[in-house]
Amino acid sequence: MNIPTPSFERAAAAAADRLSLRASRAGLVDVAVGAVDSPLGTLTVGVTPRGLVRLAYGDEDLVLEDLARRVSPRVLSFPKLVDPVRRQLDRYFAGRLHDFDLPIDWRLTAPGFTRKVLRATARIPFGSLRTYAQMASRAGSPRASRAAGNALGSNPIPIVVPCHRVVHSGGGLGGYTGGLYRKEHLLTLEGVLEDG
């Protein structure tokens, strides 16, 4: 049985990087993807020439299939293009970054009300909370808090577009696509909830 040596693995990784770089320079990569380790589990990140298009918890294969279907079949693992997102996420989880400075590619959000809700959500400051009703109002439909919740539930870029900062008017946390424990973790990290 042949067991790859560390030098073989480094050479293979270097070759993959060169191939990815060539494909990118030739305009053959529409979506660069990579995995980012976080306290909430591995995150799958997708970046287009326009900006961050996807940040997802869960099954990487499903995320890649969705990106190939909805954005472009030209999806390639290219960690170097994902590095700016990874660096900012690392700083955020370490408590050293409060405002993400990343271009966003909004194409996976439905135009109209949903996109308005998510754009307004992207402006919620670190450590602050808003209600579903407030987000509906900011999107131009004050009585559409349930629709605002649905819009937030479809957020393709959680954490960076901080839907975890939106809660029920009565004080309940509401839902979260990544699971309520992740929402609690993020709000604790931001000092909104007490650790415990």
31: CATH: 3.30.160.70
* 49 and 85 part of one domain: yes
Q: What is the pLDDT of residue 82?
A: 95
Residue numbers of the domain that contains 140: 109-189
Task: Tell me the catalytic residues.
Answer: 163
The tokens for 129 are: 């909370």
CA 56: distance to chain centroid? Answer: 5
pLDDT in tens, 31-74: 999 999 999 999 999 999 999 999 999 889 999 999 999 999 99
**Mean pLDDT on 79-94:** 96
Rounded to whole angstroms, how far apart are CA atoms 19 and 139? 43
Name the band, by pLDDT with cuts 50, 70 and 90, for residue 1.
Answer: low
Q: Residues near 155 by Cβ (< 8 Å), separated by ≥ 6?
A: 109, 118, 121, 161, 163, 177
Structure pTM? 0.86
Is residue 162 left, alpha or beta, with left meaning phi > 0 and alpha meaning psi from -120 to 50? beta
Whether residue 102 lies inside any domain: the answer is no
Distances in Å between the Cα of 41 and the Cα atoms of 35, 38, 88 are 10, 5, 16
